[in-house]
């Protein structure tokens, strides 16, 4: 019997519903082609949830998502809800669901499609062929460490990592590397920080279980420089919360458009797959949003949550082929466009291309 997976879907606000529709269009084709079934169930979160229930993250959403195999998410937020108290705002819903899912690992792949090398702020000869995965620890380190606070003229935060926290994120990076280029570069500041020394020692221990993976270490200041100087040297970058926050944003700029970049936040039983961009209210309901980041997030979901790697690869191939044939949404229309497409047109073109692979 064909395998069946339960997918929780949160479309959200702004361009969210438009881009998620296109991701589902592509998922329907690939699942049919690869012989498995995806059963989708919609849940409310963010502004859409506030309008209907008064809460940014209704209980049914948490229960439903936790009972699924994965969560596919668009984006939330918009001016309409910006004046609400913080705990009632759309963004609170997103932070809460990440916590409910125990999403301690954030994965952000950074790729530059050959046909869009000119969209990068870096020179084409530096960016061509980049394929980097940033694995960032998301629930520990400086942003969560205690003690924290302000006393008189002094304010303080604490960078804390336990060995267990480092082991579990390191395993995510090594497992991911096994499915890619088999290289992990662990980024820390072990020359200065005790917590980084523990990080480094622990990563070396975890590496023993992955003899096929080549491990290197880099100080974070050097890593920031190397990402711009020679980003192709990296396969998987493994790092803590604050370093990862900064490096993943730096890395994302290399690809040129925010509408192209997917992400996964995982750790607990259910992972969350979403584009890195927000709800883009300025272009909502105009049919011009780029759905590729969401389509690639769906591909990550197939790979990491469902183990359907072949299907995930087919989606990536179809996106690459669509771009190489000159189909572009408005945001990337300055770079090699032969045909400018709406959100739904490019989704259909990717789906048709996939069907023929």
Residue ranges binding ligand NAD (CB under 6 A): 15, 19, 75-78, 91, 94, 258-259, 274, 277-283, 289-290, 293, 331
Give the integer Cα–Cα distance in Å for 303 and 309: 5
CB 343 within 8 A of CB 290: yes
C-alpha separations of 295 from 5, 24, 304, 305 in Å: 18, 8, 14, 15
Q: Which of 187/254 has CB closer to ligand NAD? A: 254
CB of 331 to ligand NAD, least distance (A): 4
Q: What is the set of active-site residues?
A: 143, 189, 221, 245, 249
Q: 218-245 as b/e, with b when 16 or more CB fall inside 10 Å?
A: bbbeebbebbeeebeebbbbbbbbbbbb
CB 328 within 8 A of CB 345: no
CB of 273 to ligand NAD, least distance (A): 11
Residue 163 structure tokens: 């060995």
CB of 41 to ligand NAD, least distance (A): 19
CB of 13 to ligand NAD, least distance (A): 8
The residues near 352 (Cβ < 8 Å, ≥ 6 apart) are none
């Amino acid at each position: 019997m064909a395998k069946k997976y339960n997918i929780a879907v949160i479309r959200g606000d702004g361009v969210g519903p438009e881009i998620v529709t296109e991701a589902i269009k592509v998922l329907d084709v690939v699942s049919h082609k690869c012989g498995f079934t995806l059963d989708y169930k919609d849940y409310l979160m963010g502004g859409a949830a506030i309008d209907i229930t008064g809460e940014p993250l209704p209980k049914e959403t948490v229960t439903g998502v936790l009972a699924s195999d994965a969560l596919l998410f668009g984006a939330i937020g918009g001016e309409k809800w910006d004046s609400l108290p913080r705990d009632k705002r759309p963004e609170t819903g997103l932070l809460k669901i990440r916590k409910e899912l125990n999403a301690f690992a954030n994965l952000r792949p950074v790729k530059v499609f050959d046909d869009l090398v000119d969209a990068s702020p870096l020179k084409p000869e530096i960016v061509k062929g980049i394929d980097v995965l940033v694995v960032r620890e998301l629930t520990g380190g400086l942003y969560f460490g205690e003690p924290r606070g302000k006393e008189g003229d002094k304010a303080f935060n604490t960078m804390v990592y336990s060995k267990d926290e480092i082991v579990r994120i390191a395993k995510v990076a090594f497992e991911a590397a096994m499915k890619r280029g088999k290289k992990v570069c662990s980024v820390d500041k072990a020359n200065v920080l005790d917590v980084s020394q523990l990080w480094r020692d622990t990563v070396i221990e975890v590496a023993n279980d992955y003899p096929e993976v080549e491990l290197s270490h880099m100080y974070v200041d050097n890593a920031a420089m190397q990402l711009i100087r020679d980003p192709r040297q990296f396969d998987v970058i493994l790092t803590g919360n604050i370093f990862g926050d900064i490096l993943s944003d730096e890395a994302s700029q290399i690809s040129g458009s925010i509408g192209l970049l997917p992400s996964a936040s995982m750790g607990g039983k259910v992972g969350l797959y979403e584009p890195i961009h927000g709800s883009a209210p300025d272009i909502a309901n105009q049919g011009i949003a780029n759905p590729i980041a969401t389509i690639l997030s769906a591909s990550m979901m197939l790979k990491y949550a469902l183990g359907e790697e072949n299907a995930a690869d087919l989606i990536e191939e179809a996106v690459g082929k669509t771009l190489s044939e000159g189909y572009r949404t408005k945001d990337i229309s300055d770079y090699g466009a032969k045909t400018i497409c709406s959100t739904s047109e490019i989704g259909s073109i990717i789906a048709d291309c996939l069907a023929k692979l």
